[in-house]
């Protein structure tokens, strides 16, 4: 079960995509609508991806990678 991942490859650059959307022109109503729709679509996809990964971690399908692996289980921090 790939948890919604269609293919393996480089990770998606969410920040770069958002910056690209925010750099779109918004001179008139149509451009503003396109920009807002694009931003909404990206945020929706990002949220769904986060939910999928959280569920996969909680079900043990993905091993969490703590940034402080030497700490006790209850003190682990994840990025």
Mean predicted confidence (pLDDT) in 56-77? 77
* Tens-digit pLDDT profile for residues 19-55: 999 999 999 999 999 999 999 999 999 999 889 888 8
Listed in sequence order, the residues at least 6 apart from 66 whose beta carbon sits closer than 8 Å to its beta carbon are 76, 77, 78
pLDDT grade for 6, boundaries at 50, 70 and 90: low
């Amino acid at each position: 079960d790939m948890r919604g991942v269609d293919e393996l490859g480089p990770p998606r650059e969410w920040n770069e995509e958002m910056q690209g959307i925010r750099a779109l022109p918004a001179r008139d109503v149509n451009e503003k609508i396109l920009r807002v729709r694009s931003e909404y679509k990206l945020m929706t996809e990002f949220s769904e991806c986060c939910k999928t990964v959280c569920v996969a971690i909680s079900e043990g399908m993905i091993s969490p990678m703590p940034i402080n692996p030497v700490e006790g289980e209850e003190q682990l921090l994840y990025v």
